[in-house]
Structure 1
Amino acid sequence: MGNCCEPPNKIDHFLYVKTGDIKGNLSNVKLRAKLQDINGKISNELKLDLHFGIDFERGRMNVFEAVSLNGFSDMVRVELWREDSEENQGDDLTDGVDWFCESLLVNNRQTEKCFYFPVLRWVLLNQHYKIEINDSLLPQTDPNAEQRKEELNHLQELYQYGQSAPDLPVQWDIINSQFQVLAKAGLSKLPATPWDSLEELLGVYVPELPEPVGVDRWSNDLCFGAQRLIGCNPTMIKLCTDLPENMSVTAEMLRPFLEGWTMKQIIEAKRLYVVDLKILKNIKTVPGHKVCAPIGLFFVTGDKQFVPIAIQLFQNIAPNNPVFLPNDPPFTWLLAKMWFNNADSAVHQALTHFCFTHLIMESVCVAMHRTISPSHPIYKLLAPHFLFLPSINARGLDQLISENGWIDRTTSLGREGMFELMKRGMDDWRMDVHGTFPKELESRGLLDLKVLNDYGYRDDGMLVYKALERYVNKIVFKCYESLEKLNNDIEIQNFARELSISKDDGGAGIKKNGTEICKTFTRAEDVSMLCINVIFTCTVQHAASNFPQYNEYAFPPNYPSILNGVPPTDKSPRTEEDILAVIPDKATTLEIMSITKLFSTRPPKSLTQWDFQNQFDYTAITAEAELRKELESISQTIKQRNETRDDIVKYFYLDPKNIPNFISV
Structure 2
Amino acid sequence: MKDCSFYFSAICGMVGVNFLGLLDCTESWKDLNDIKKVFFFERTENSDLASQLWMEDTFFGYQFLNGLNPVMIKKCLRIPDNFPVDDVTVSMTLGPSTNLQTELQNGNIYLADYKILEGIPSNVINGEPQYLAAPMCLLWKSPQDKIVPIAIQLNQTPGEENPIFLPNDPEWDWHLAKIWVCNSECHVHQIVVHFLSTHLFAEVFNIATNRQLPMGHPIYKLLLPHLRFTLEINTLARANLIGPGGHFDQFIVTGKGGVPLVIAKAMKILTYSSLCLPDNIESRGVESLPNYFYRDDGMKIWQAIESFVSNIVHYYYPSDESVYKDPELQAWVAEIYKEGFLSIQSSGIPSSFATRAELIKYLTMVIFTCSAQHAAVNSGQFDFFSWMPNGPASMRKPPPTRKGTTTYQSILETLPTINSTALAASVVRLLSTEPLDRRPLGTYPDEHFTEEMPRKFIKEFQEKLVEISKDIKERNLRTFE
User: Under a length normalisation based on structure 2, what TM-score does the superposition of the two structures give?
Assistant: 0.93
Amino acid at match of 2:88: E
**CA contact 2:321–2:354 (8 Å) conserved in 1:** no
Mapping for residues 150-189 of structure 1, pairs under 5 Å: 171=3, 177-183=9-15, 187=19, 189=21
Whole-angstrom distance in 2 between the partners of 1:365 and 1:352:
19
Q: 1:596 to 1:294 in 2, by over 3 A?
A: same
**What residue number does 1:33 align with?**
none
Aligned to 1:223: 59
Counterpart amino acid of 2:402?
Answer: D
Does residue 1:399 correspond to 2:235, yes or no?
no
Q: Who is 1:619 aligned against?
A: 453
1:515 to partner: Cα distance: 5.9
Counterpart for residue 99 of structure 1? none
Residue 599 of structure 1: how far off its partner (Å): 0.9
Q: How far does the alpha carbon of each residue in 1:499-553 deviate from its partner, in whole angstroms, 9 at most, with x for none?
A: 233xxxxx33365751674443211112211110000000111011101111121
2:295 corresponds to 1:458: yes
**Which of the residues 249, 261, 274 maps onto 1:408?**
249
Of structures 1 and 2, the one scoring higher in RCO (CA 8 A, sep 6+) is 2
Distance 1:182 1:292, change over 3 A: same
From 283, 286, 296, the counterpart of 1:443: 283
Larger radius of gyration: 1
1:473 is the counterpart of 2:331: no
Aligned to 2:273: 433
The 2-side partners of 1:269 and 1:457 are apart by 23
Give the corresponding residue for 2:190.
349
SS at match of 2:399: coil
Shift of 1:174: 6.0
Quick check: 2:163–2:402 contact (8 Å CA) kept in 1?
Answer: yes
1:270 aligned partner, one-letter code: G
Structure 1 residue 568 and structure 2 residue 400: aligned?
Answer: yes
Distance change >3 Å, CA 208–CA 423, structure 1 → 2: same
Q: Does 1:379 align with 2:220?
A: yes
- Which has the larger displacement, 488-497 or 288-297? 488-497
Letter in 1 for 2:100: M
Partners of 2:158 and 2:180 in 1: CA distance: 17
Q: Which runs of 5+ in 2 are unaligned?
A: none
Q: Are 1:286 and 2:126 counterparts?
A: no
**Matches of 1:246 and 1:578, distance apart in 2:** 28
Q: Matches of residues 550-629 of structure 1 in structure 2 within 5 Å?
A: 550-603=382-435, 604-629=438-463
Output the CA distance in 1 between the equivalents of 2:7 and 2:264.
Answer: 27
Question: 1:142-164 CA distances to partner (integer Å, 9 max, x unpaired)?
Answer: xxxxxxxxxxxxxxxxxxxxxxx
Structure 1 contact 209–593 (Cα < 8 Å) conserved: no
Deviation sequence 1:165-190 (CA, Å, 0-9, x none): xxxxx836967642233335773642
Select the residue among 88, 97, 102 that pairs with 1:265. 102
Please tell me whether the aligned partners of residues 192 and 586 of structure 1 are also in contact (alpha carbons under 8 angstroms). Answer: yes
Cα contact 2:35–2:388 (8 A) shared by 1: no
1:437-481 superposed Cα distances (whole Å, 9 cap, x missing partner): 1111111112x2xx2101111111111111111111000111111
Residue 30 of structure 2 is matched in structure 1 by 196
CA distance in structure 1 between the partners assigned to 2:59 and 2:196 by the alignment:
27
Q: Can you list the C-alpha shifts for 1:22-63, whole angstroms capped at 9, x where unaligned?
A: x8xxxxxxxxxxxxxxxxxxxxxxxxxxxxxxxxxxxxxxxx
1:639 and 1:551 map into 2 onto residues whose CA distance is 18
Q: Which amino acid in the other structure matches residue 133 of structure 2?
A: C
Partner-residue secondary structure (3-state), 2:285: coil
Q: What's the counterpart of residue 138 of structure 1? A: none
Distance 1:608 1:389, change over 3 A: same
Contact 1:469/1:532 (<8 A) preserved: yes
Q: Which residue of 1 aligns with 2:340?
A: 508
Specify which structure has the higher proportion of strand: 1
**C-alpha offsets along residues 255-291 of structure 1, whole Å, 9 cap, x if unaligned?**
1111321222212221111111111111122131111
Structure 2 residue corresponding to 1:245, chosen from 66, 70, 81: 81
Q: Who is 1:144 aligned against?
A: none
**Matches of 2:237 and 2:194 in 1, distance apart?**
12
Distance 2:386 2:89 in 1: 34
The yes-or-no answer on 1:638 pairing with 2:472 is yes
State the 1:576 CA deviation.
Answer: 1.7
What's the counterpart of residue 42 of structure 2? Answer: 208
> How big is each residue's C-alpha offset from its partner over 1:327-349, in whole Å with a ceiling of 9 and x where there is no partner?
11111100000011101111111
Q: Structure 1 regions of 5+ residues with no counterpart? A: 1-22, 24-169, 502-506, 648-665
Q: Residue 173 and residue 485 in structure 1: after superposition, are their counterparts in 2 closer, same or farther (change >3 A)?
A: same
For residues 485 and 267 of structure 1, what CA distance do their matches in structure 2 show?
A: 48
- 8 Å contact 1:509–1:516 — kept in the other structure? no
Alpha-carbon deviation of 1:386?
A: 0.6
What percent of counterpart residues are identical?
A: 31
Which residues of 2 match residues 98-113 of structure 1 at below 5 A? none
**CA contact under 8 A between 2:385 and 2:391: conserved in structure 1?**
yes
SS at match of 1:307: strand
Two-structure CA RMSD over aligned residues (Å)? 2.0
More helix by share: 2
Q: Does 1:306 align with 2:142?
A: no
Q: Distance in 1 between matches of 2:174 and 2:7?
A: 37
How many aligned positions are there? Answer: 470
Q: 1:415 to 1:213 in 2, by over 3 A?
A: farther
The Cα of 1:575 is off from its aligned counterpart by 2.3
* Matches for 1:32-51 after TM superposition, within 5 Å: none
- The alpha carbon displacement at 1:225 in A equals 0.4
- Using the alignment, how far apart are the partners of 2:466 and 2:337 within structure 1? 36
CA distance in 1, matches of 2:479, 2:42: 28
Q: 1:228: Cα distance to partner? A: 0.6
What SS does the corresponding residue of 1:396 show, helix, strand or coil?
helix
Q: What amino acid maps onto 2:328 in structure 1?
A: E
SS at match of 2:444: coil
Post-superposition shift, 1:389? 0.7
Distance 1:611 1:330, change over 3 A: farther
1:496 aligns to 2:327 (yes or no): no
Partner-residue secondary structure (3-state), 1:267? helix
Q: Deviations over 1:66-98 (max 9, x none)?
A: xxxxxxxxxxxxxxxxxxxxxxxxxxxxxxxxx
